[in-house]
Structure 1
């Protein structure tokens, strides 16, 4: 705002051809020379409000060079008569004109010739004085239609100079002018107590019959009663706004003539006290009815009848205590009953059970069962607002069951005293079946803790508001994994657990009471590393406790205090656990080692001997088959010679028969006479590939036989090979067999030769055969081809598995 009078000379903007917006407002006493705005060919928006300009700004040539002008603001000036110059016909883009709060006293047809042929998207003539020109004996027919040849999208004629008579005369004067949106606020109507002033009637707006008005705004006037067919002249009206009046009465058929085209009726902020069944009977195509902020305390029987297509009903801010028995509204999507005095929701399902959005917040409801009632019966419900109702009890009807596939997405229960209900141990299943819920608000409920599993049914929840409660601790896993946005501001969280927030993207922790000690370090570390977006600056987080750190910024805590020393128990916790694991494994290993050794001590000894032999003594050279003089040494008592000759020698030794393939050694034939007997035994054992001991009672009584058996055992243990084969002949007791504990392969033979079968003989031959292929030539002497094939693949180990001794069984001959 200029304190010095501004004078704009000719050609002042001559070189500002690219300028598109010029603001010269609030230059009181502005003086212009005729070519002051020459050169502003591209100027689009021009503001000259409150510059003390008069009629000449439009009638003279100041604006004729503004060929691109679209908007001209001349509000708060001193124009007394509207006489635009003829050059405005060349300003083809000019569509917006603001003449608010000027002193225009007359509008006649001859004055506005310069605007003929124009379509104004916006013209504001608010608070001028031309309404008074239609009073008394003014010849408005001679004045003509000031808007002839013009059309308007929005025309604002709000003024305090119109009354019922001047309004009727003015509308008759502009009859036929095309106006889409007409704003006509002012002193129209008699108000609450001025009975001498009339309200509009069915003749008041007759002049607008052919104007095709779609949006008629009569808000902020003083209409007290809507008389019969008052708007019947508005044949094309879609929206009628009569909010902010003093309407207390609606006569029968007041909306006659609007059926079939009126879609929105705004009656908010009036003085209505009741709704009767006939109030809106003619509005068959009405979609939105706004009755908010009246004084409606009663809904008559079948109220809202005749509104089959109503989609939204706003009853916010009234005085309803009960809903009565209104008419059914089958197509209602939005039902707003908030800020009333409702104590019961009885008949709400009859009123709009197909609604998508229901708001009953800030009433006087006290039973939480209403939530179950609404969610169960409103099958299409998506948004439900129940906040501001102070709950006292929760008495659920056992017959009410919320369906799992309910459509509820937004639930607002803030300031509903949930802490009182949950302290009583009731309604813990409040959210169990709301699997499609996306947003939940339970702030301002004085919650000190969250019941375990209270959110278990919210499998799709994304946003949760827990602000302004008294939470001090959050149980791990209390929030669903689908949660993305959480508001915990204004609580009492001292040391939040970061694991509670692992699924979040947005988090608000403002105004919590953090306790800055070592228990907060985990949270501080997470705070510096997390990718979560905080809805309030983390720089504003401060320490509340202890007193020495009061108001210290949380982010400065670690730098301004000494690092925390971990408590001894925590420091050695990991070590104790490691020692426990090691000790347990050691004990298990010792026990298993004892069991393995007891069960497999023989195998362990063999492995031990092999390792000692290979590491300390090195591998022993394998003697060639040609260097061994005998294939087998037969050790037996002389008393058993006949059995041995009949069973073994005749079928094994090649000197007894040319068909036999083994070269056998036995005492009676092959021991050197005169040689030491023990030496003969040793040479026979080490000079044979195998040793066969024929055990009988006589064998166990013969000292030389037992000595030979001992030497064979020593060779077997030294070479760790299965060189010793035992045949038990006859009945030998278990006690006598204790001598043979370390023998792995044993065959029980019958005492009579004919009982020794070919199968037994075949197994014995298989064990005596060498593993190498050096005997390949000898095997050709076998008569049976099948026996020869089996002999090639059979080993002593096979014999051991087939004829092993079961020490606990009774020996059978």
Structure 2
């Protein structure tokens, strides 16, 4: 019966068996995956950084998700087509300072999203055919400081979106080369050609169409001719010409003055040409020029100033490196009435006449840095509209009360790198609008109340690099708007309680590299800095000790505290209340302080701490309780701390830690528990750790190779130090298979087990297949019984007839006429009452549970039928498991007991349940049918009325 269905079931079981063995294969032979540890690079802010790695080939293990790739300062000599793996998100690549001399056609074709490419400082001589193929989205290309002499016609063919091209400091010689560049770049806005060997610029050799160029730089070329015959520079706003290092005279030939009518920024530094050509040049830009650079000029300086200042729109003039010394007189800038910015730096100026700037009434910015001035020029006093004055890097030894008295609008004053020793209280008296004052790198010994009452709007004050030894009381009391104060690299030893009074808006103060001690901090000098955000006390002489009034107790808004490198001898200890009051501290650096111990309560007062550096100390051990108050920690530096173990992490609860730097320590094993205790870890550095190359590190080796979350910095260079025979070898080269159980034994055991398994199955099937067959149907019946037994459906039939198809004639000719025709019972039969289209199993189960009784017509063929067995087992479940008398057995023939023995429930049934035997009813058929009628009439309860029939069991 149902041969087709049985065949499909067997095929399904075979498929499941195959799937099982496939899964087992995958478990024991896993597919290798690439981890996040790169051999030669690190990934920082989504950029692969491979700088200074002595690379001779491009790394292949860079993650495809990076947006930046920095390969600068290496030893690459050639870029080939197969060098770059697909990097679909890459936007920036830096190949600066390699030794690249050759680039193959299409070498960058896999970098389709690249926007910026840097090939500076290499040895490229020729740009061959289609060298930049694939870079259709490139917008910036820098290839300066190479040796490029030759360009091919298709070198730049793919760069249709390029906006900036810097090909400076190469060996291009012909203006026709520019045609090869510009022909394929319709969107090019900036072209930098400085430092090549171009001798002529002829527009007709380049193009006749209007260019999109905004910036053109031709400086440091030996140009003899600059000729423009058509209006190709309609968008040009910045033009750079000239060669300060050359002696060649340039001929200027622009056919129409309107060709450069949009140029607003002009640099002609070092340009040599006749006075007439210079006039023609300036006339070409007379209506648009706003900014002019004329550095290192060889023409008459006074004439150049007069010509340039006659341009009505020019407001900014840079005139550096012209060796003016004492050339500036009262008439030098006479015509420069429109100037707002004047840069005279690097001119060896020693003296400026008092009325030299009389005509510069609108001047707002004056730069006189890097000259030889010995005092502040009186000429600056006439510049009442001056906003910025730069006198840096001169020989100024002192400043007087009159020097800046008229510069009342000054906002930025630079006096750095001079020789000023003292100040007075009146020097800056009138500078009420000053915001930035640079006095660093002088020789200031004392401030003499220069800031006690003045400069109410000053925001930044630079006093670093002087010789201050003490900050007296109320020294900065007048600086109520000050935000940044730099006092580092002085000789400050003493502070008093009121040293910083008045600085209520100060957010940043730098006091590193001074001579401060704990005595200075005990004064409470920092108590006035209630809005301080950053405090740097690096490289002083501060020894922390328990204090009744902690030095930072009033700095509740402090976010960054730098305390590394105190110059102390012997072992040091950070007192428990050292950080008291710093409730908002985010960054704490206590590196290199000879600390030998950190109390568990050290960070109790800094619950928001995110960055902690305690490296280069002699801690040896750390407690997990130390980190209990700082659960927000994200960055931890513990290098050179002589730690022997990292087990403190296991109970530290640092679930937010992302960065761990643990170089140069004594531990040799990294355990699974340590790593798993840091679930947010993104970067870890164990460089210069003496690893044990044994089975204790197997988990760490596997994790380093396979994990996708945490980057293990420079993991491929981790070295072994133990045992002796592995010294000097790489940790990741360690053969972890030596730590696994003996493969031969595993293979022997597994093979033996499989063979024994199949032997047991074979013998069981051979000697007990009938029992197995019965058990299979028993389980099947139980499953379907558990599905239907809770359903209380009404009985549609009086009896379901279960029979073998070979016994169908008896059922149709004998059973059906008697029970339905004469006695009026309603029967359920396979061929008549099963629902078409429904599964056979569902039809059988539904029929049994929809009938009051089940009549099993049993013969030897019936017992051998799979579906008949399922029917009788389902019915028997209702009898034994539901305790309902629902089963009637009719034996068409005598069946020996041995044929019933595999059917345990059938034998149990015969011992407990009445049955009818048709083969013994030949003499009295009416009695047989009457007994069957009574059996159908009885109730379903097992303790109800039973038929007492003679049971003859055939032996």
TM-score after normalising by structure 2: 0.51
Q: Does 1:383 align with 2:545?
A: no
Q: Using the TM superposition, give the Cα deviation of residue 375 of structure 1 relative to its aligned residue in structure 2, in angstroms.
A: 4.4
8 Å CA contact retained: 1:84, 1:113? no
1:32, distance to aligned residue in structure 2 (A): 4.7
Determine the C-alpha separation between the residues in 2 that align with 1:399 and 1:478. Answer: 23
Q: Is the 8 A contact 1:12 1:36 kept in 2?
A: yes
**Residue 659 of structure 2 aligns with which residue?**
506
Of 183, 208, 222, which residue of structure 1 is paired with 2:343?
A: 183
Q: 1:467 and 1:96 mapped to 2: Cα distance?
A: 51
Larger displacement relative to structure 2 (484-493 or 513-522) = 513-522
**Does residue 96 in structure 1 map to residue 265 in structure 2?**
yes
- Give deviations 1:292-327, integer Å, cap 9, x for gaps: 111111222455642122222110111111124535
Distance, in Å, in 1 between the alignment partners of 2:212 and 2:491 is 56
Question: What are the ranges of 5 or more consecutive residues in structure 2 without an aligned counterpart?
Answer: 1-146, 150-170, 669-690, 743-955
Q: After superposition, where does 1:118-267 map in structure 2 within 5 Å?
A: 118-120=288-290, 122-130=291-299, 132-133=301-302, 144-152=306-314, 154-166=316-328, 168-174=330-336, 176-179=337-340, 181-190=341-350, 199-209=351-361, 212-228=362-378, 230-259=379-408, 261-267=409-415
SS in 1 for 2:328: helix
**1:368 Cα shift?**
6.9
Deviates more, 1:288-297 or 1:150-159: 150-159
2:197 equivalent to 1:28: yes
* In structure 1, distance between residues paired with 2:177 and 2:538: 65
2:210 corresponds to: 41
Q: Distance in 1 between matches of 2:251 and 2:309?
A: 12
Change (3 A) 1:115 1:363: same
Gap change, CA 1:318 and 1:19, over 3 Å in 2: same
Q: CA deviation at 1:67?
A: 2.3
Cα 1:37–1:308, aligned 2, differ >3 Å: closer, same or farther? same
Shift of residue 461, structure 1, vs aligned partner: 0.7
Q: Does 1:112 align with 2:275?
A: no
Q: Contact (CA 8 Å) 1:507, 1:534: kept in 2 or not?
A: no
Partner residue in 1 for 2:513: 362
Task: Report the Cα distance in structure 2 between the residues aligned to 1:466 and 1:82, rounded to whole angstroms.
Answer: 66
Q: Is contact 1:486–1:507 with CA below 8 Å preserved after alignment?
A: yes
Counterparts in 2 of 1:69 and 1:399: CA distance versus 1, 3 Å: closer
Q: Which moved more, 1:480-489 or 1:23-32?
A: 23-32
Contact 2:600 2:625 in 1 (8 A): no
1:472 to 617, 620, 636: 620
Match for residue 581 of structure 1? none
Residue 453 (str. 1) matches residue 601 (str. 2)? yes
Match of 1:296 in 2: 444
Q: Give the superposition deviation at 1:15.
A: 4.6
Query: Is the alpha carbon distance of 1:26 and 1:63 closer, same or farther for their aligned partners in structure 2, counting shifts above 3 Å?
Result: farther
**8 A Cα contact 2:235 2:262, kept in partner:** yes
C-alpha displacement of 1:36? 1.8
Q: CA–CA distance in 1 between the matches of 2:323 and 2:377?
A: 22
CA distance in 1, matches of 2:352, 2:413: 17
SS at match of 1:216: strand
Larger radius of gyration: 1
8 Å contact from structure 1 (residues 89, 116) kept in 2: no
User: Aligned residue for 1:332?
Assistant: 482
**Cα contact 2:571–2:596 (8 A) shared by 1:** no
Do the aligned partners of residues 280 and 476 (structure 1) sit closer, same or farther apart at CA in structure 2, a change above 3 Å counting?
Answer: same
Structure 1 residue 377, shift from structure 2 partner: 2.9
Distance in 2 (CA, whole Å) between partners of 1:544 and 1:455 is 35
Q: Does the alignment pair 1:488 with 2:638?
A: yes
Deviation readout 1:538-557 (Å, 9 max, x if unpaired) = 44444455655444444455
Task: Assess if the C-alpha contact under 8 Å between 1:372 and 1:402 holds in 2.
Answer: no
Q: Secondary structure of 1:250's partner?
A: coil
8 Å CA contact retained: 2:264, 2:285:
no
- The separation in 2 between residues aligned to 1:420 and 1:6, in whole angstroms, is 67
Instruction: Report the Cα distance in structure 2 between the residues aligned to 1:493 and 1:547, rounded to whole angstroms.
Output: 22
Aligned-residue offset at 1:283: 0.8
Q: Does 1:70 align with 2:237?
A: yes
Shift of 1:277: 1.2
CA contact (8 A) 2:553 2:580 kept: no
1:529, 1:29 → 2: CA distance? 55
Deviations 1:673-725 (A, max 9, x none): xxxxxxxxxxxxxxxxxxxxxxxxxxxxxxxxxxxxxxxxxxxxxxxxxxxxx
Is it true that 1:18 corresponds to 2:186 in the alignment? yes
Deviates more, 1:268-277 or 1:516-525: 516-525
Secondary structure class of the residue paired with 2:284? helix
Q: 2:472 touches 2:495 (CA, 8 Å); kept in 1?
A: no
Q: 1:411 to 1:86 in 2, by over 3 A?
A: farther
**Aligned positions, number:** 537
- Write the distance in 1 (CA, Å) between the matches of 2:735 and 2:330: 78
Structure 1 residue 291: deviation in Å? 0.5
Residue 592 of structure 2 is aligned to residue 444 of structure 1: yes
Q: What is the distance in 2 between the residues matched to 1:266 and 1:419? A: 40
Deviations 1:580-614 (A, max 9, x none): xxxxxxxxxxxxxxxxxxxxxxxxxxxxxxxxxxx
C-alpha distance in structure 1 between counterparts of 2:710 and 2:177, whole Å: 58
Instruction: Give the aligned partner of residue 866 of structure 2.
Output: none
| Counterpart contact for 2:460–2:482, Cα < 8 Å | yes
Deviations 1:501-551 (A, max 9, x none): 533022223444442346666766776787765584444444455655444
**Matched residues in 2 for 1:418 and 1:533: separation?**
38
> CA 1:334 to 1:38, structure 2 compared with 1: closer, same or farther past 3 Å?
same
Conservation of the 8 A alpha-carbon contact between 1:105 and 1:128: no
Give CA-to-partner distance per residue, 1:646-682, whole Å, 9 cap, x none: xxxxxxxxxxxxxxxxxxxxxxxxxxxxxxxxxxxxx
Task: Give the conservation status (yes or no) of the 8 Å contact 2:320–2:347.
Answer: no
Partner of 2:736: 559
Q: C-alpha displacement at 1:130, in angstroms?
A: 3.9
Rounded Cα–Cα distance in structure 2 between residues aligned with 1:178 and 1:221: 21
Distance 1:177 1:23, change over 3 A: same
Contact 1:384 1:411 in 2 (8 A): yes
Task: Find the aligned partners of 1:189 and 1:10 in 2 and give their Cα distance.
Answer: 43
Give 1:415's aligned residue.
Answer: 565
Alignment of 1:504-583 (within 5 A): 504-515=657-668, 516-517=691-692, 533-534=710-711, 536-544=713-721, 548-557=725-734, 559=736, 562=739
Q: What is aligned with 2:919?
A: none
By how many angstroms is 1:474 displaced? 2.5
TM-score, structure 1 length as denominator?
Answer: 0.59
Counterpart secondary structure, 2:334: helix
CA contact (8 A) 2:237 2:262 kept: yes
Could you say if the C-alpha distance between residues 502 and 560 of structure 1 is closer, same or farther in structure 2, counting changes exceeding 3 Å?
Answer: farther
1:519–1:253 CA distance, 2 compared to 1 (3 A): farther
Partners of 2:315 and 2:431 in 1: how far apart?
A: 25
Structure 2 counterpart SS, 1:265? strand
Which of 452, 461, 464 in structure 2 is aligned with 1:313?
461
Mind listing any 5+ residue stretches in structure 1 that lack a counterpart? 135-139, 191-198, 566-813
